[in-house]
Chains A and B, each alone.
Chain A
Amino acid sequence: MNNDASLITIFVGMVIINNMVLTKFLGLCPFFGVSKKLSNAISMGVAVTFVMLLAAIATSVIYNFILLPYDIEFMNIIIYILVIASLVQIVELIIRRTNIALYNSLGIYLPLITTNCAVLGITLINASNSYSIVQSMVSAVGGGLGFTLVLIIMSGIRERLELGDTPKSLRGLPVAFVTASLLALSFMGFSGLL
């Protein structure tokens, strides 16, 4: 049973209408941790998008050619997370060898991409929507871009918030959540787009 949603629908849906962070609540930990500086936000976003794309391809192939035909879909959790963990290790190695500055600026958040709900989340979403391999790729890129977009917006807002006069209890995380709430509210306006 293949899903015949068009690629544009999937892409726009993932980036804006069903934004990973603001509607599906995926990828929150780095969202609140990293998003204070704009440059960090962009590096993080790109890194996550890249891993999501690779993971989506690998898991989609495994799902469509191994799990489904042999009726072992329940193995998806273990296999997906192992694939993601390995991919993150490989990407970490590559970044360390080619761009040490990037490696240092991402710091501990790079291995933490393994536990990023967004990466595993996108692979599970692809499977539950029965996307083909190409659809999964588009979905992953869309999801990653949506994540990056929100990360960038949040970092911009938080940079300003730091300078503002927030009540003591709300300072830091709580006001970030309230900001996210307003952001999510505004994104809901996109729902009539498609």
Chain B
Amino acid sequence: MTQQEKPNTNSRRFTKEILKGLVIANPVFVLVLGLCPTLAVTISIDNALGMSAGVIFVLLGSNLIISMLRRITPQLVRIPVYIVVIATFVTILSLVFEAYLPPLYESLGIYLALIVVNCIILGRAEAFASKNTILLSIADAIGIGIGFALSLIIVSFFREILGTGKLTVFGKTLFSIPVLSSDPLAFFIMPPGAFLVLGLLLALFRWLGVLKNE
């Protein structure tokens, strides 16, 4: 490779990694990871956005650190090391939310702390960040993080509209559907509704050919 070609391929790889996380390797709809927060948090778009921001923060931090340490991390203790790094970022996130975004902190509840066992984050650390350069790991984190955010937003979009009849973001009601808002289908806000929406969306994605069959 000549000197001129190298920068191009590097930035192309960077973008490719980001895009990968959005569709082909979408954590929720393709890899089917990180289910616990997806179902619990998607009762409102606000919660979904807050959780997404949190997960992106932790993913970025952990991918960065683990990639930086990848050459000197001994194989034997690599999983505990990853876990400690991830747990540290989650604790920092939790403290920051508790101090500066109390209502979000309250509504996310234990699912904020549960980010630490979110299979997505540990999975990326083990499968990617431990074997790739810092820059690519950052790209991976951004891509997977945004992919996760998109899936949360899609699921909560349906659940909030069907379950409350309106869409409220950061306190402002974006729009409300006349018949639904007076008599919403509370089913969708409740657990069974969560499973159903996710199941149907999974089927939809599969039908669109995005996923490969199991």
A and B touch in the complex (CB under 8 A): yes
**Which A residues are closer than 8 A to B by beta carbons?**
22-29, 32, 74-78, 81-82, 85, 114-117, 120-121, 124-125, 128, 167-178, 180-182, 184-185, 188
- Chain A residues positioned under 8 Å from B196 (CB to CB): 177-178, 181
Interface centre among B33, B83, B90, B195 (most CB of A within 10 A): B195
Which 3 pairs, one residue from A and one from B, show the smallest C-beta to C-beta distance? A177-B199, A181-B195, A174-B203
Interface pair A169/B203, CB less than 8 Å apart: yes
Q: Which of B79, B116, B122 contacts A77 (CB 8 A)?
A: B116
Which B78-105 residues have C-beta < 8 A from chain A? Answer: 79-80, 83-84, 87-88, 90-91, 94-95
Interface pair A25/B207, CB less than 8 Å apart: no
- Chain B residues positioned under 8 Å from A176 (CB to CB): 199
Binds A, one of B59-67, B128-136, B185-193: B185-193
Interface centre among A85, A121, A181 (most CB of B within 10 A): A181
A77, B89: Cα distance in complex, Å:
10
Q: How many of chain B's residues touch chain A, expressed as a range? A: 35 or more
Q: Which of B33, B95, B214 contacts A172 (CB 8 A)?
A: B214
Binds A, one of B34-42, B45-53, B145-153: B34-42
Interface pair B39/A25, CB less than 8 Å apart: yes
Is B55 an interface residue when CB atoms closer than 8 A count as contact? no
Which residue of chain B is the closest to A166 with respect to CB atoms? B203
A82 to chain B, nearest CB (A): 7
Is B142 an interface residue when CB atoms closer than 8 A count as contact? no
**Which B residues are closer than 8 A to A by beta carbons?**
32-33, 35-36, 39-40, 79-80, 83-84, 87-88, 90-91, 94-95, 109-110, 113-114, 116-117, 119, 122, 190-196, 198-200, 202-204, 206-207, 213-214
- Chain A residues positioned under 8 Å from B191 (CB to CB): 22-23, 25, 184, 188
Interface pair A188/B91, CB less than 8 Å apart: no
Which residue of chain A is the closest to B109 with respect to CB atoms? A128
A121, B113: Cα distance in complex, Å:
9
Which residue of chain A is the closest to B110 with respect to CB atoms? A124
A160, B191: Cα distance in complex, Å:
24
- Chain B residues positioned under 8 Å from A82 (CB to CB): 80, 83-84, 87
A82, B117: Cα distance in complex, Å:
11
